[in-house]
Amino acid sequence: MPKHVFFDLDNTLTPSRQPMQPHHGELFVELCKQKDVIGVSGQELASFRSQLPKAAEGRYYVLAQVGNHAYDKNGDTLWEERPSEEQTRLVLDFIALLRKTYPREVRDENDIVELRGSLIGYSLIGHHEDPKKKAALDPGSVERKKMLAGFPEEVKRLHAAGIDLTPAGTTTIEFFLAGRNKGFNILRLIDLKKWSKEDCLYVGDELEPGRNDESVIGVIPTHAVKDHNETFDFVKANLL
């Protein structure tokens, strides 16, 4: 049985950008008492705090922004790495190109791009748009993969500048420092804490090829789920 359990946040621990359901919160707090629990997401720390139960605060680690801003259980920063101004400009130029090529009506122009510090998030219709609308927009990231495939030279230019990108969540494309993906940063925490990889487990809803949990495969054991309900069925049956 694993001692250290890593979880994706949106659509794995909670609905996208939504608080954890109360009956799941009870299981989550109990799991945090029994094991090391680590949240891993492109989101910022504030999202973890707003979506996870207050009763669990101080009991879990956070690998925010796919782990490029990492926090200990007490909230102290373990490490933080950010794109340069030039890298950020290249990302914003590419987002502008995507938006010009694939125009959409959006409810709030200020909700499309998030400069999170260690990661830049671009949502096709808005990070805080209606969750049902977001979930229906691009299942399996099919549309976002096609969008990126349409600009191979621009994507190559970003890689050459030290930026990786991947579809994430329901409507987002995330941009972060090259190689600094979830798998890399999970291994970094494991090494820092001197844990055994065999004692670790990652639970996520995007473990398919080309999606943002894929980088964890081969780093530690993984378990794929469809949503937060399936996650807590698994927690109840196998981890508590």
Please write the tens of the pLDDT for every residue from 162-181: 999 999 989 999 999 999 99
Residue at 184: amino acid letter: F
Instruction: Report how far residue 87's alpha carbon sits from residue 157's, in angstroms, rounded to the nearest whole number.
Output: 11
pLDDT bucket at 6, cuts 50 / 70 / 90: very high
Same domain, 74 and 94: no
Same domain, 112 and 164: yes
CATH number at residue 163: 3.30.1240.20
Same domain, 99 and 141: yes
| Residues linked to residue 77 through DSSP beta bridges, in sequence order | 71
Summarised one tens digit per residue, pLDDT across range 50-108 is 999 999 999 999 999 999 999 999 999 999 999 999 999 999 999 999 999 999 999 99
Summarised one tens digit per residue, pLDDT across range 187-229 is 999 999 999 999 999 999 999 888 889 999 999 999 999 999 9
Same domain, 189 and 74: yes
For residue 214, give its domain range. Answer: 4-80+180-239
Instruction: Report how far residue 225's alpha carbon sits from residue 203's, in angstroms, rounded to the nearest whole number.
Output: 7
- What's the pLDDT at 114? 96
Q: Are the C-beta atoms of residues 94 and 158 closer than 8 Å to each other?
A: yes
